[in-house]
Amino acid sequence: MTFNSIEFLAFFLSFYLLYWQIVGKSLKMQNALLLLGSYLFYAWFSWKFLALIIISSAFSYCCGLSISKAENEKRKSFFLYLAIFQSLGLLLFFKYFNFFITAVADLLATINLNPNIHTLKIILPLGISFYTFRLISYILDVYNEKIDAANDWVAFFNYVAFFPCLLAGPIDRADNFIPQLEKKRQFSYAQTVDGFRQILWGLFKKIVIADSCAPITNQLFDHYQDYPGSSLLIGAFLYIIQIYADFSGYSDMAIGIAKLLGFNIPKNFNYPFFAQNIAEFWKRWHISLTSWMTEYVYTPLSFIFRSSGKKGVMLSIIINFVLVGLWHGSNWTFIIFGLLHGLYFIPLILNGTLTKRNKTTSNLKMWFGIFSTFAIVMLTAVIFRCESISMAFEYYTHMFSKSLISKPLITTGYVVLMITLLYITLMFVTEWFGKNENYGIAGTFIKKSRALRWSFYMFLVISIYYFSFVDKTQLFMYLQF
């Protein structure tokens, strides 16, 4: 029941009607229905793992209250560590247990010890990376007295399991979300229109762009040995576009759906491909994760290492980005991906780009910054996509071979490729003109003319309709994390 499915449409329409028509007059009823709806939505995927969400929510809720009532620092710390142990422990077990066991076995094998270690058959519960981060930030914020402990369990459980953001974020924070649950949502025509518009843009990016790139990238990455370097470069280009269109499209849909229910969720992407350096890129890409990591990982680390000056900043950034990489999954490819991105910050720290702002950037410098940042991000994403480091290495070797300067071979055909590239251009042009808005078509360059604006919407709708028949098998990429 993903956002772009008929099942979700049926679920959401019934939910929407009940939410505004039947229970809209009472806050308690709104919150109760929201929780029930979120649990039903999750149970559709996995009713077994729903218990995990409920138990984790209850655990953090009780620990939060215990922290706020604790009489001394020792008790406060005890409940903090207890809650973190539970939520982080759950994440580590489900996501990293086998990886850790295998890494230990490999390490022991290098010193000629072959222990009889077995991995477990573990299924990763959907959305666990997202909701455990919500739980951890909540408990840390309560401990640091940034927020008061929630005393309405329905509101708190809703914060953890809010269905538009449950499976793949954005990872909203308690200080933004819980206050919205404490006030009755009022139906707003303007917010509803805005929500539908953002969903439309999200659907366009997902169905028209990401799902058109997917068959081409899958073919190129799965059979990279059979293709010339020029094709593999196209593969790398389309893959970074695919992941952006898929995940930012998903985020736009999640935020748009939340708007339809009267909630405001901060944006998750801020046109990352218009960033002029890597630091700016990470401020614009998957913002809810990077801001979470900045607050709860980078800041404490840089505080600890602060006496080491720039070296301390560099070390904190590198550790932070290795963990950002690892967050995506238990594979060395993600660790190397994170490590490389951390290393890309070093020149910026050394030459002072991060501290001293030069406001008078020339156009040439700006475009150079945008293209070089894009190129670095695109090439590094190859590691992210590959199943192993050796595969990534071979992909790079094939790509940067003599065949890089040859006619690219595309199995899906040049017409499909050209149409995909045209739509990608349309996406970028639209986002460039809308880059000061919350999402690509929030304001748009055709704001002044109603007829033109509606024609553009109709064009998007028709494109989505047409492309929805092309490939129905592509799930949202970030559901795997």
Partner 1 sequence: MNRAEILEKIGTILNSVLGHSNFELNEELTAKDADGWDSLTHMIIITEIESAFGVKFKLKDLNKLQNMGNLIDLVSGKLSEK
Which residue lies nearer to partner 1 by CB, 145 or 387? 145
Which residue lies nearer to partner 1 by CB, 219 or 294? 294
Distance between start and end Cα atoms, the chain: 17
Would you count residue 284 as binding partner 1 (CB under 8 A)?
Answer: no
Active-site amino acid positions: 328
> Whole-number minimum distance, CB 319 to partner 1, in Å?
14
C-alpha gyration radius of the chain: 23
Contacts 24+ apart (CB under 8 A), 379-382: 379/236, 380/337, 380/340, 380/341, 381/236, 381/239, 381/240, 381/243, 381/337, 382/236, 382/239
List the one residue out of 190, 192, 155 whose CA is nearest residue 174: 155
Residue range at the interface with partner 1 (CB under 8 A); choices 23-31, 105-113, 296-304, 322-330:
296-304
Residues in CB range of 53: below 8 A, 6 or more apart: 39, 42, 131, 160, 161
Virtual CA dihedral for 380, 381, 384, 388, nearest 10 degrees?
-60
Residues in CB range of 85: below 8 A, 6 or more apart: none
Pick one of 355, 411, 449, 455: the residue that binds partner 1 (CB under 8 A): 355
Binding mask 304-343 for partner 1 (x = CB under 8 A): --xx-x--xx---x--------------------------
Would you count residue 146 as binding partner 1 (CB under 8 A)?
Answer: yes
Pick one of 357, 402, 448, 450: the residue that binds partner 1 (CB under 8 A): 357
Residue range at the interface with partner 1 (CB under 8 A); choices 37-45, 299-307, 381-389, 439-447:
299-307
Would you count residue 279 as binding partner 1 (CB under 8 A)?
Answer: yes
Would you count residue 80 as binding partner 1 (CB under 8 A)?
Answer: no
> Whole-number minimum distance, CB 310 to partner 1, in Å?
8
Would you count residue 299 as binding partner 1 (CB under 8 A)?
Answer: yes
Count of residues interacting with partner 1 (CB under 8 A): 24
Residues in CB range of 452: below 8 A, 6 or more apart: 446
Would you count residue 74 as binding partner 1 (CB under 8 A)?
Answer: no
Residue range at the interface with partner 1 (CB under 8 A); choices 86-94, 176-184, 194-202, 302-310:
302-310
* Cα 173 from Cα 293, distance rounded (Å): 12
> Whole-number minimum distance, CB 314 to partner 1, in Å?
11
List the one residue out of 424, 429, 477 whose CA is nearest residue 241: 424
* Cα 252 from Cα 128, distance rounded (Å): 20
Pick one of 65, 196, 270, 295: the residue that binds partner 1 (CB under 8 A): 295
> Whole-number minimum distance, CB 121 to partner 1, in Å?
40
> Whole-number minimum distance, CB 317 to partner 1, in Å?
8
Q: Is the peptide bond before 170 cis (omega within 30 degrees of 0)?
A: yes
Helices 332-350 and 363-385 pack at an angle, to 10 degrees, of 160
Which residue lies nearer to partner 1 by CB, 126 or 313? 313
How many Cβ atoms sit within 10 Å of the Cβ of residue 169? 28
Would you count residue 81 as binding partner 1 (CB under 8 A)?
Answer: no
Tokens of 288: 């809810």
> Whole-number minimum distance, CB 21 to partner 1, in Å?
40
Query: What sign does the CA torsion over 296, 301, 306, 311 have?
Result: negative
> Whole-number minimum distance, CB 301 to partner 1, in Å?
9
Residue 148 DSSP symbol? P
Pick one of 66, 302, 373, 420: the residue that binds partner 1 (CB under 8 A): 302
Measured CA distances, 399 to 21, 230, 234, 392, 408 (Å):
57, 7, 10, 10, 11
Binding mask 93-112 for partner 1 (x = CB under 8 A): --------------------
User: Which residues contribute to the site for partner 1 (CB under 8 A)?
Assistant: 144-146, 279, 283, 294-295, 298-300, 302-303, 306-307, 309, 312-313, 317, 352, 354-357, 359
